């Protein structure tokens, strides 16, 4: 009899505790949901509406991030490859933009930062008609081996999608998400694309490569920050050559003179070779030569890796960022490489 009474008492206590525990669990779920970054649809009408832009920060994704990336790109604070995901390159671009505009460089797109970004009221997503030239090619698979690359007549794009993604500073995956069902191979087809920067850039007074935050910045007279790009800046084996150098000149669509003796990880069977020009050339579409022998600022065939992998000592940017920087510099311009 006593055991029955004790069991009933314990059961009653458990049942009485359940509502409080449920409330606690619900509270935890609500707090977790509140901590989750807001997600905005990638629908063009939504993304183009500045009123729908939420606060976005590291870990955010969706239309709010996409809007911020395009507006940062147009302000010449490059987020790198536009992909609707808020990672390190976007955070650096936001902080640089905030610094240049005189507000605290938090790296978070808050209300004050949106106000400045949204001063650019042009649509961030627009319609584009694929042209016959876009689909004409020639397109080809690009081999990984340097000796095989050297055998090709050119290192062009592998597909229309890759070419369009680079033109609009976007990841191929993002273009696919914006245009579900598109083959990106038919002239006349209308697709949705980011409306990225297109105006001619200004000339600058100096270029700074900063290894601490993996950026290349362009500065005007009066110490004005004009542009900033995410970069890959060397490695443990080939550290950035810190010092004050000068820009010798610019080579567009360069042939890459491959010398395996200059690469610590080169295949022992490799020999010196001339690797043909093209956007999938190892140095991309432009080489900005520095007074430090064998070093330069250049493009890359793999824009998604910028700021996330290592280089062989040189400074790598996306092809579109490198091409823009090349328009801003001149022979003799100071290039400061710092840690």
User: What does the pLDDT look like over 12-65, one tens digit per residue?
Assistant: 443 344 444 454 455 544 444 444 445 668 999 999 999 877 899 999 999 999
So what's the pLDDT on residue 307? 82
pTM across the whole model: 0.85
Residue 5's pLDDT band, with cuts at 50, 70 and 90, is very low
Please state which CATH number belongs to domain 36-199: 1.10.101.10
Q: State mean pLDDT over 215-224.
A: 95
Q: Which residue has the tokens 């690359």?
A: 149
Average pLDDT of the chain, as a whole number? 87
So what's the pLDDT on residue 238? 74
So what's the pLDDT on residue 264? 60
In this structure, what token pair is assigned to residue 330?
A: 């001149």
**Least trusted range by pLDDT, from 82-96, 170-184, 306-320:** 306-320
Residue 309 has pLDDT above 90, yes or no: no
Residue 151's pLDDT band, with cuts at 50, 70 and 90, is very high
Peptide bond before residue 138 is cis, with ω within 30 degrees of 0: yes
Q: How far is CA 169 from CA 49, 81, 135, 308, in A?
A: 21, 6, 18, 17
Distance CA 295, CA 205 (A): 20
**Least trusted range by pLDDT, from 17-21, 74-78, 204-208, 281-285:** 17-21
3.50.50.60, 2.130.10.10, 3.40.640.10, 2.40.440.10: which CATH number matches 206-338? 2.40.440.10
So what's the pLDDT on residue 269? 79
- Exposed e or buried b per residue across 50-61, where buried means at least 16 C-beta atoms within 10 angstroms of its C-beta: bebbbebbeebb
- Delimiting residues of CATH 1.10.101.10 domain(s) in the chain: 36-199
DSSP per-residue string spanning 53-101: PPPB-TT-BSHHHHHHHHHHHHTTB--SSB-SB--HHHHHHHHHHHHHT
So what's the pLDDT on residue 257? 87
In this structure, what token pair is assigned to residue 286?
A: 């432009």
């Amino acid at each position: 009899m006593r055991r029955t009474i004790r069991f009933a008492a314990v059961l009653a206590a458990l049942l009485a505790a359940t509502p409080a525990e449920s409330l606690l669990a619900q509270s935890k779920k609500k707090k977790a949901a509140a901590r989750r970054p807001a997600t905005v649809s990638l629908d063009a009408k939504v993304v183009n509406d500045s009123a729908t832009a939420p606060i976005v920060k590291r870990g955010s994704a969706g239309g709010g991030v996409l809007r911020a990336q395009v507006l940062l790109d147009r302000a010449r604070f490059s987020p790198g490859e536009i992909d609707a995901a808020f990672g390190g390159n976007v955070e650096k671009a936001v902080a640089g933009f905030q610094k240049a505009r005189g507000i605290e460089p938090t790296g978070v797109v808050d209300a004050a930062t949106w106000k400045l970004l949204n001063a650019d009221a042009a649509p961030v997503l627009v319609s584009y008609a694929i042209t016959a030239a876009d689909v004409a090619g020639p397109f080809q698979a690009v081999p990984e081996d340097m000796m095989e690359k050297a055998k090709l007549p050119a290192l062009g794009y592998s597909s229309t999608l890759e070419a369009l993604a680079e033109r609009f500073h976007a990841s191929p995956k993002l273009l696919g998400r914006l245009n579900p069902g598109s083959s990106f191979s038919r002239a006349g087809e209308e697709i949705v694309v980011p409306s990225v920067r297109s105006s001619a850039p200004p000339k600058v007074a100096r270029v700074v490569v900063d290894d601490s935050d993996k950026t290349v910045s362009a500065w005007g007279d009066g110490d004005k920050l004009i542009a900033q790009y995410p970069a890959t800046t060397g490695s443990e084996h080939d550290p950035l050559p810190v010092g004050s150098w000068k820009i010798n000149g610019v080579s567009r669509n360069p042939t890459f003179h491959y010398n395996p003796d200059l690469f610590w990880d080169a295949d022992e069977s490799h020999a010196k070779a001339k690797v043909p020009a093209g956007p999938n050339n190892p140095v991309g579409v432009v080489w900005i030569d520095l007074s430090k022998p064998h070093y330069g600022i250049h493009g890359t065939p793999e824009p998604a890796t910028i700021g996330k992998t290592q280089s062989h000592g040189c400074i790598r940017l996306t092809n579109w960022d490198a091409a823009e920087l090349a328009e801003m510099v001149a022979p003799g311009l100071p290039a400061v490489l710092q840690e």
